[in-house]
Amino acid sequence: MRRILLVKSRSMECSAIKTLISNLFSDAALEEIDCEQASGYLPSNPSPDLIVYAPRSVGRLGKRFQLLKMLAGRAKILVYSTFQQDEQYLFDYLAAGVNGILSKSAHVNEHQRALDTVMRGDSYVDAGTRGIMLKSMRAVLV
């Protein structure tokens, strides 16, 4: 049985992604914990196949995410959030080894594609976030 762990900020609304995960991976066990609980949860529970990391804001790579990444083992990580004014940090998350980045505002088809792609072990960044990242790169290169 596959295990999916949703690690979210208390203030982050994630009912849509939870429903989608349940529909796409009906054979998977889905658990939800707060970001603050991850460091205690991961060492004492079976390793998940997928971690959906849903912070209120991605911001700089913080100690909490770095610890999550270290404790994740072989789990794939999909960052799921709003990325307003955070585009400069998205590259840091990719460099840190996340498997995917998905904006809450992406179309439901992209949510499905992201979950399926990352669960298979491939990488995914939704189209809107990709555009923001490319625009940010152009600004640096010009």
Lowest mean pLDDT: which of 24-28, 128-132, 134-138?
A: 134-138
Does this model's pTM top 0.85?
yes
Q: Read off the DSSP letter of residue 36.
A: G
- CATH 3.40.50.2300 for domain 3-141, yes or no, is yes
**Both tokens assigned to 119:** 């669960």
Q: Name the maximum alpha-carbon separation found in the chain.
A: 49
CA nearest 54: which of 115, 102, 114, 107?
Answer: 102
CB 49 within 8 Å of CB 119: yes
Q: Tens digits of per-residue pLDDT, 58-117?
A: 666 667 788 888 888 899 999 998 776 666 778 888 888 899 999 988 999 999 999 999
Q: How big is the chain by its Cα radius of gyration, in Å?
A: 14
* CA separation for the pair 84, 132 (Å, rounded): 10
